[in-house]
Structure 1
Amino acid sequence: MQRNLIASLAALAVLSSASGCSSGAARMDSIAVAWSPFESTALVWIAQEQQFFSRNSLAITLRKYDTGVGSLDGVVNGEADLVVGPTEFPLVGRAFQNTKIRTVASIAKSEFIYVVGRKDRGVEKAADLKGKRVGTTARTIAEFFLGRYLELNGLTLKDVILVDVTAPADWVEAVVRGDIDAIATAQPYANSAKERLGANATILSAQSSRPLFAQVIATEAWINKHPELVTKFLRALAQAEEYVRNPAQAKAVVQQSLNLDAAYMETVWSQNQFSLSLDQSLIAAMEDEARWMIKNDLTAENQMPNFLDYIYEDSLKQVKPEAVNIIR
């Protein structure tokens, strides 16, 4: 009798343990996250490596794209639940198309768009770009900053021969081969082009001290269905933001995650401010970019969207209320 009782209790313990494991597994929520390989996504890699996602009951599946535009397209096309890293510029383009998406947070303010030119083609300053073949990738923030840089220096996009360079390998190779005279592109590609050209390279900062905003974006429908997952995701990123206060460890995580050179990381780390935010400067940037798109005939629309309709504040207000500064 006692032996049977012990056996029964042991069996019950096994069943309870199995049930507990099953219940624990069920509490993990899955999110498919689109991303592109730029260091402005640092908080994501830190959250993944430090297990902040799993500690917030999230199981993350990462899906890589070449550009921020491509990663945002992935979310719009249903290939991922949310996207990390695209800038505000493709969001502006999507707003003109009335695409039902929203940014839930900025995760970095960054300055990493450069124009790299060939000295043997006469490119040493902004004015030298007139009449030259200048490559960039259409619909990306690099195209906007190239246009803005030209305008700040008395030129327009019509003053250059614009070449749409879409393949990541060509962001470096096209200017190295001499297919184009200059390329407007992001880091780390700008740095690679500079190194490959050596003494023949001219490098110009296209942003002129104006930061871009790396975003976390999802469709309106997904956010409405999963607001608690948005909050969990941002909570994990907020924990990663705290970890950035240990810059040596944070750099090491991002360097390894993105397979970047240590010297390069030292150079570009200070060009990024890694923090969660939703502030009025983001709205101002999007409005400026919308005006630029209208002026340069990059949209058939002539009325600026209301960008407040493309901001979702609720989750960030729960996680980091002091970071939300949007005027409504």
Structure 2
Amino acid sequence: MKKKKEGQEKETSGSGKHHSKEQKGCKEKGIKYKKWIFWTLIAVIVFNITFYGYILLSPGEDGKEKDSENRESLTIGIEECTAPALLWIAEEKGYFEKEGLEIRLKRYKSDSQAMQAMIDKRIDLCVVSDAVFMAESLKRYDIRILSTVASTDDGLFLLARKDRGIHDPSHLAGKRIGVQKDSSAHFFMDMFMMHNKVSRSDVEIVYMPDAQLVEALSTGNVSAGSVRHPFVSDAEEALGENLVKLYAPGIYTNTLNLVGWERMTENDPETIRGLLRALLKAEDIIRKDREEAFMTVSQQLEGNSISREFWENTDFEVSLKQSLLVALEEEARWAIHYNLTQADEVPNYLEYIYFNALEDVEPARITIIH
């Protein structure tokens, strides 16, 4: 029994040595296989970096970088007139493209239409007056002013018919006055009448779109109208010597502003910075040669809605001025007072203005205390 047991132990010992050799061989094969996998992965990674790096960074046929696929594509709604001149020039000169942006300017008959198109998600941004922005801000919180792009205190007028006995502001009493509701012209009309001591209760206000005001004046449907450029020149042409032009420079500074969504300021601030850089370059064109810039805008508009008077009396400047904040607050109080809105308190407009982009690009252009 003892010998048998010893024999079994020898067999077991021999078998253990055999298994040990097999295990050692398997381990060596496993290590070699892992090394092969490791170096294969390294080779694949190096190849991908080299190949795709070449595709992304290699110049195109014209020697320029292939960045078109990476450009941010945006549609900006603007009124078809002289006012958004900086955008017309930036498009014509290719400044948007140089900032890596693919911008499409969509034309509208009024800034109110452009604002509504943005609210309806048909466009990404819009350029509108402070009054149009104010009216929308009393309904929602998620819109932001990114920058002012134009301003004037001499772009709105009370136009009237001489044959209705109107020669000065006091003659407006008892007359029908046409105006687009919730617009800069609407706010100006009330400021104008207040300035000239004409009571609102002494006139009949008729609301209608800007584009219909000239026809209403021409046909006599209204005796006067609060009109802005570019419709002023149309009215002058239609009524000729029968037109009386009443105005009061300085009582209201009307601004035109680039407006976007709050989410854009949170998710894509670099695109906003690129937009502002492009507009600042366009501003330089106007500063260096205002006449050449006017011709550029005229060509973009193909002769439509061009106002030399408006051009000469307007500052085309990228900015965020304290006067903008004051105007928004005054307009909101006005809208609430005359029950033009369901809102009952003036918003904190510091929360509706996006400062960061302009602070990064050209901080001296900001005078709003915030």
TM-score of the superposed pair, with normalisation by structure 2: 0.79
Q: How far is 1:20 from its partner?
A: 4.9
Q: How far is 1:279 from its partner?
A: 1.6
Cα distance in 1 for partners of 2:74, 2:234 equals 33
Q: How far is 1:153 from its partner?
A: 1.1
Equivalence for 2:91: 48
Equivalence for 1:285: 327
- Which of 214, 218, 221 aligns to 1:176? It is 218
Equivalence for 2:168: 125
Cα distance in 2 for partners of 1:69, 1:158 equals 26
Equivalence for 1:76: 119
> Percent same amino acid among aligned pairs?
29
Q: How far is 1:326 from its partner?
A: 1.7
Secondary structure, aligned partner of 1:39 = coil
Task: Answer with 71-80 or 202-211: which moved more.
Answer: 202-211
- Which of 94, 105, 108 aligns to 2:150? It is 108
Unaligned runs of 5+ in 1: 1-11
Q: How far is 1:16 from its partner?
A: 5.6
Say if 1:119 and 1:208 are closer, same or farther in 2 by CA, change over 3 A. Answer: farther
Q: Greater CA radius of gyration, 1 or 2?
A: 2
Secondary structure, aligned partner of 2:84 = helix
Cα distance in 2 for partners of 1:130, 1:311 equals 39
Q: How far is 1:190 from its partner?
A: 1.3
Cα distance in 1 for partners of 2:293, 2:73 equals 25
- Which of 191, 197, 205 aligns to 1:148? It is 191
Equivalence for 1:275: 317
Match status 1:239 vs 2:281: yes
1:13-52 matches, cutoff 5 A: 20-21=59-60, 23-52=66-95
Does the aligned pair in 1 maintain the 2:78–2:108 contact within 8 Å? Answer: yes
Structure with the bigger RCO (C-alpha within 8 Å, sep 6+) is: 1
Cα distance in 2 for partners of 1:319, 1:201 equals 45
Higher strand share: 1
Give the paired residue count.
312
- Which of 133, 137, 144 aligns to 2:180? It is 137
Does the aligned pair in 1 maintain the 2:188–2:252 contact within 8 Å? Answer: no
Task: Answer with 68-77 or 273-282: which moved more.
Answer: 68-77
Equivalence for 2:368: 326
Equivalence for 2:4: none
Secondary structure, aligned partner of 1:277 = coil
Equivalence for 1:258: 301
Cα distance in 2 for partners of 1:96, 1:17 equals 46
Say if 1:295 and 1:212 are closer, same or farther in 2 by CA, change over 3 A. Answer: same
Equivalence for 1:6: none
Cα distance in 2 for partners of 1:38, 1:224 equals 31
Cα distance in 2 for partners of 1:60, 1:153 equals 44
- Which of 228, 231, 236 aligns to 1:189? It is 231
Say if 1:205 and 1:302 are closer, same or farther in 2 by CA, change over 3 A. Answer: same
Unaligned runs of 5+ in 2: 1-50
Secondary structure, aligned partner of 1:274 = coil
Cα distance in 2 for partners of 1:100, 1:17 equals 36
Does the aligned pair in 2 maintain the 1:238–1:319 contact within 8 Å? Answer: no
Say if 1:77 and 1:144 are closer, same or farther in 2 by CA, change over 3 A. Answer: same
Q: How far is 1:214 from its partner?
A: 0.5
Cα distance in 2 for partners of 1:307, 1:218 equals 15
Say if 1:219 and 1:18 are closer, same or farther in 2 by CA, change over 3 A. Answer: closer
Q: How far is 1:236 from its partner?
A: 0.2
Say if 1:297 and 1:16 are closer, same or farther in 2 by CA, change over 3 A. Answer: closer
Cα distance in 2 for partners of 1:73, 1:236 equals 25
Equivalence for 1:164: 207
Cα distance in 2 for partners of 1:222, 1:53 equals 17
Deviations 1:8-62 (A, max 9, x none): xxxx9xx969975494222322111111123220000110111111111111112
- Which of 234, 240, 243 aligns to 1:201? It is 243
Q: How far is 1:154 from its partner?
A: 1.1
Does the aligned pair in 2 maintain the 1:115–1:190 contact within 8 Å? Answer: no
Does the aligned pair in 1 maintain the 2:95–2:278 contact within 8 Å? Answer: yes
